[in-house]
Structures are given as structure tokens and as C-alpha cells.
Amino acid sequence: MIPAPFDYVRAGSVEEAVQLIGEHGDDAKFIAGGHSLLPLMKLRLAQPSVLVDIGRLRDLSYIRDGGDHVAIGALTRHMDVERSPVLAEHLPLLAHAASHVGDPQVRHRGTIGGSIAHSDPASDLPATALALGATYVAQGPRGTREIPAAQFHTGFLDSALAADEVLTEIRVPKMQGAGWSFQKFNRRAQDWAIVGVAAWRRNGDSGVALVNMGSVPVLATSVSSALAGGASVADAAEAAVAEADPQPDLNASVEYRVHLAKVLVRRALEESSRSS
Ligand SMILES: Cc1cc2nc3c(=O)[nH]c(=O)nc-3n(C[C@H](O)[C@H](O)[C@H](O)COP(=O)(O)OP(=O)(O)OC[C@H]3O[C@@H](n4cnc5c(N)ncnc54)[C@H](O)[C@@H]3O)c2cc1C
């Protein structure tokens, strides 16, 4: 449980962070809250030779009303997402999902940008942002670009971010008047999800995404298509796993995950219908 030796540098700005990561090459990694990277380093599943600390870039910690969307700085802590009045008004699903991340210590240290950049399919916020149609803003040596959430997660713990790009902002379209639900099935309070579901419904539209049902967060487009085509909630929920590729682990077989996903999607759609 002791990490391999590494050097540590702290960046004072995004530009400096990009420059430092460029100077130190492929073995360098950004560290934000450290609540995903440090456990991997302690298990020696990650062995960066240099850590570039972006955790004190307070300029990247904000939640702003951007008109048709809410803009969230990548260094915003889970606890601030959970308690934000702006999100409570415009995106309660995201604030509520953040309240399910780990325990208070994790939520005080971990950042929304770290959670998304880490691209863990078992994490709560990447799937929630995917269901909500978020866009991610990345800054690197070649400038700034936007990446739709649906194109961001490219594999297990892998994303469309280049090694020298900092995720700076998460933009989430407002969901005024939408019904919503976040379902997380875990063995004990504060555990990771065995399966989770983030869902919203408004008029004929919907968004449904699954936690821990494949190597990446899964957008369950077949469920939304079924609902748009007039299917009942029960019938639409049967399509829950059409885009998923669940794997077995210590907690669940593939069959159990499939069963859970269908049950949780049905519950999520029922709750979304009641609250819309
Ligand atoms: C005990 C425990 C329980 C947890 N339970 C849950 C849970 O129930 N649900 C859940 O969703 N999560 C859970 N987590 C994970 C937690 O949410 C992490 O905070 C989060 O996944 C990573 O955020 P971080 O800021 O700590 O990232 P870090 O650990 O600092 O970084 C993670 C990865 O992202 C990269 N990175 C970080 N920020 C950026 C950025 N701005 N730009 C580019 N790359 C970046 C790093 O290089 C690294 O590869 C848990 C963690 C712990 C330790």
C-alpha cells in the first residue's frame, strides 16, 4: 500500500499545468482530489514518475448559470455540486447524484473533473452527466476544445482527453421542469454502485444512463427510443441493457447485473414520471 517513488510539482494556472505535463512526458499525471489516482498508486496499478498537482487551481472551482446551461469548473468538489443552489434549481439530478458519491470525506476532496477524467464506469457522475447530455471543455498545448459526453469515454479508465490536456469545465444543459431519478444499488451505504441509473423525462424526451454496466458509462438510447415510440415504462425498461456490456465481478454475475439494470431503469422511469 505504498506508492512507487514519484516527483511532485504544483501548477499555479492551467497554462502552467499544461506546460509542466509537457515537460515531464508520458509518465507524468495530473492530480486533482487524489481520491481515484492515489488508491491506484498505492496498489501500484498506476506508477506515474511525476504528479502535476492541479488541486489548488481555485479559478476552476465554480458553478455558474450560463443561460441555457450550467457551467461547472472541473476542480469543483463533489460536496459543492451536492449543495449548489444553482444546480438545485436547474439540475437537481446532478446535485442528487453527487450526494451519493462515497462518504463526506471523499465528497470534500474529490472533484467532478477528476471523476469524469478518470472515466470509471462504476462512478456516479460520468453516467449522470452522460444522461444529461453534458459537454466537456479541455485545454491543452493546441488550444481549447469541446467534447460531447457521448464521445468522451473511450474505454475502461480511458477517455478522449490527451495526456497533456486539462479538463477545465463541464457544461450541462438545464433541465427545467424535467422529472428525474437516480437509482444506486449497493451492498452498504457509501459503497460504489453494483448498478446505477440516472434518468430524466420531459414531455416526449428522456435521457437514461447506466453505471457499472460495461467498460464505459452507458447511454441507454434504446430505452429513450422505446419511450418516444409510445412504449410503457415496463416495456421500455426491458430495453435497458441493449447498449450495455456488463461484466461479472465479486459483487454480481452478468445475469444479476442485467436483472438489476432492468429493475432500476423501471424504477427510475416511474419516479421520473411522477416528478415531471
Ligand atoms: C473510499 C472511496 C469511495 C469512493 N466512492 C465513490 C462512489 O461511490 N462513487 C463515485 O462516483 N466515486 C467514488 N469515489 C471516487 C471519487 O469520486 C473521486 O473523487 C473521483 O473519482 C476522482 O476525483 P479526484 O479529483 O479525486 O481525481 P484524482 O484522483 O486526482 O484523478 C483521477 C484521474 O483523473 C485525472 N484528472 C483529474 N482531474 C483532471 C483534470 N481536471 N483534467 C485532466 N485529468 C484530470 C488524473 O490524472 C487521474 O488520472 C470514491 C473514492 C474513494 C477513495
- Structure confidence at residue 274 (pLDDT): 79
Predicted confidence (pLDDT) per residue in 14-58, tens digit = 999 999 999 998 889 999 999 999 999 999 999 999 999 999 999
The preferred substitution site among 9, 37, 125 for testing ligand 1, maximizing ligand atoms within 8 Å of CB, is 37
Alpha-carbon distance 68 to 88, whole Å?
A: 15
Query: How far, in Å, are 178, 183, 210 from residue 75 at the CA level?
Result: 27, 25, 24
Q: How far is the CA of 235 from the centre of ligand 1 (A)?
A: 35
| DSSP characters over 147-192 | EEHHHHEEETTEES--TT-EEEEEEEE--TT-EEEEEEE-SSTTSP
Predicted confidence (pLDDT) per residue in 74-107, tens digit = 999 999 999 999 999 999 999 999 999 999 999 9
The cell for 139 is 485545454
Nearest CA to ligand 1 atom 27: 114
The CA R_g of the chain, rounded to the nearest whole Å, is 18
Residues with CB under 6 A from ligand 1: 29-37, 39, 54, 74, 101-102, 106, 110-111, 113-115, 117-118, 123-125, 161, 166-167, 192
Q: How far is the CA of 255 from the centre of ligand 1 (A)?
A: 29
Least Cα distance to 165 among 147, 178, 148 occurs for 147
Asked whether the whole model's pTM tops 0.85, one would answer yes
- Structure confidence at residue 189 (pLDDT): 80
Predicted confidence (pLDDT) per residue in 130-167, tens digit = 999 999 999 999 999 999 999 999 999 999 999 999 99
The preferred substitution site among 31, 61, 159 for testing ligand 1, maximizing ligand atoms within 8 Å of CB, is 31
